[in-house]
Chain A
Amino acid sequence: RKEVEQDPGPFNVPEGATVAFNCTYSNSASQSFFWYRQDCRKEPKLLMSVYSSGNEDGRFTAQLNRASQYISLLIRDSKLSDSATYLCVVNLENTGFQKLVFGTGTRLLVSP
């Protein structure tokens, strides 16, 4: 089983739609969680961190459910510029070392 699993999509949505991505992780000792965005095979960039209490940044809301080992990202009022691949990332701490493990990514296509 992969350490981080995501639905690869693509998710095709019209502008203005609300779309949600899910991610599951297998290691219950995972320390911290993130969503990264990647455009057209460019380098990934941090979109937002994910906290147990949930966090919101404008149109983006991230949630973490530790009991179910589940992370979500909600995008409201989708824009054309939101078209990208969204990567779920888990920071595993093992024997004092941290390593970032990425999901395969979920591709989002927003159309006019």
Chain B
Amino acid sequence: DAGITQSPRYKITETGRQVTLMCHQTWSHSYMFWYRQDLGHGLRLIYYSAAADITDKGEVPDGYVVSRSKTENFPLTLESATRSQTSVYFCASHDGMSTEAFFGQGTRLTVV
């Protein structure tokens, strides 16, 4: 199916565990983004990528790692999950020209 998909949709993990959130898009968009959304903070940019193997930090990158070996995939890894990383995570992509961004359905992560 065309579009942008995130997996898993829901995840519960324990403090200290490593967890990876997946994001896959079928449009070959050059740009991809990871945001977290928390009450009172709106969408905050964690990391973004302008192309394969090109990534940069956003507003709240601490505790997260990204990679982009292929254009279509942009996984987000929490190296050692903390309760403060409980949030809804959204992945987005755009083609760098129109700049309309398309979002995945989100991953609701709970760290216990």
Contact = CB atoms under 8 A, between A and B. Distances in A.
B103 A97 contact: no
Contact of A32 (B31, B90, B99): B99
Interface stretch (B11-19, B20-28, B41-49): B41-49
Contacts of B105: 42-43
Interface of B is mostly: strand
Nearest to B92: A100
Contacts of B45: 99-102
Contact of B37 (A32, A41, A100): A41
Given A41-B106, A43-B106, A100-B99, A87 B37 contact: no
A100 B90 CA distance: 13
A8 B56 CA distance: 28
The 6 closest A-B pairs by CB, nearest first: A104-B42, A43-B103, A102-B43, A97-B50, A46-B100, A105-B42
8 contacts: A8-B40, A32-B99, A34-B99, A43-B105, A46-B100, A97-B50, A98-B99, A100-B99
Given A99-B45, A102-B44, A102-B45, 15 more contacts: A8-B40, A32-B99, A34-B100, A41-B106, A42-B106, A43-B103, A43-B105, A87-B42, A97-B54, A98-B99, A99-B33, A99-B58, A100-B101, A105-B42, A105-B43
